[in-house]
Homo-oligomer: A and B are copies of this chain.
Amino acid sequence: MLYEDFTVGMKFRSRDMVVSLEDVIAFAKAFDPQPFHTDPEAAKATFFKEHVASGWHTSAVTMRLITESLPVAGGIVGAGVDELRWPTALRPGDTIHLESEVVEMRTFKSRTDTGLVKFLVKTVAQDGRVVQSMMPNVFVPRAAA
């Protein structure tokens, strides 16, 4: 879809996706090696009191589902993200999906072939817990004038 095909309020839903215990531990060992993410037993004595995924793992699986569910022509290129939040933690074995909505659109004076679409992207678990919300700004090609 081109910039002109989007409107504020438009909504998109992704497929469901399971995040396994093995995935959670592998990501944590590579990128966020703290006991509450790498070790289900040790996690019980930490801030979280249970084993949870790294917030950055939640972001990574969210990006996977964004590439599948936001139909932007030419692919998803982000200019940046506002208000990245993890209201509750992603737990190993959770089944997640995305609920996305267009919240803002703008064009550039200097660059007429591209617009910017801001989405609110919520990552939701099977029990309704929001495990991440964020507002990415995505470059979207414009129709030729």
Contact = CB atoms under 8 A, between A and B. Distances in A.
A82 B80 contact: no
Contacts of A54: 63
Contacts of A82: 82-84
A46 interface: yes
B86 A74 contact: no
B77 A84 contact: no
A8 interface: no
A100 to B, nearest CB: 16
Contact of A63 (B32, B46, B48): B32
Interface of A: 27, 30-36, 46-48, 54-56, 59-61, 63-64, 67, 74-86, 139
11 contacts: A27-B60, A30-B60, A34-B67, A36-B77, A46-B75, A47-B75, A47-B77, A79-B85, A80-B85, A81-B85, A82-B82
Give the 5 A-B CB pairs with smallest separation, nearest first.
A80-B85, A31-B60, A81-B84, A34-B75, A56-B63
